[in-house]
Amino acid sequence: MAFSHNFVIFFFDADGPEIEPLGESFVTQYNLSAHIPCGGEARGNPPPTFQWMYGSMEENVGRGLSQLSFPDRFSVDRDSGELMLSVAWHTDSGVYQCTASNSIGNASTFISVLVLGMQPV
């Protein structure tokens, strides 16, 4: 008795996230909204999710970054990964890290943010 086996093989085209370099600095004005890009474009298959971390310029970046936890002032665009500040304060100046992640892997980029302008006395 001869047996015949048929196999179906599915290929899933998966890619870890990639972030196109955009620049290393971002300047905005005090007391205005700001939209900080996560590089030029972040992509992957499946599409990545985004996380932003922060470290002030006064801190030694080597000591680590803190996860942003101010939902009333910070939000992240789910599609582009752009960090949106409802209002920029001088204390928002610092080094930010955007990480794009999916089930295949992750990619990160750093950007230095500077908030300029006069603060009321």
Q: What is the b/e burial string over 65-87, where b = at least 16 CB atoms within 10 angstroms of the residue's CB? A: beebeeeeebebeeeebbbebee
Q: Is residue 15 pLDDT above 90, yes or no?
A: no
The predicted-structure confidence for 28-41, as pLDDT tens digits, reads as follows: 999 999 999 988 77
What confidence score (pLDDT) does residue 85 get? Answer: 92
Identify the DSSP state of 76.
E
What confidence score (pLDDT) does residue 71 get? Answer: 72
Domain spans, the chain? 15-107
Is 15-107 a CATH 2.60.40.10 domain? yes
77 or 6, which is more confident: 77
With vertex at residue 22, the alpha carbon angle to CA 19 and CA 25, rounded to the nearest 5 degrees, is: 120
The predicted-structure confidence for 3-12, as pLDDT tens digits, reads as follows: 666 666 655 5
CA 59 to chain CA centroid, nearest Å: 20
The span from the CA of 51 to the CA of 99, in Å, is: 5
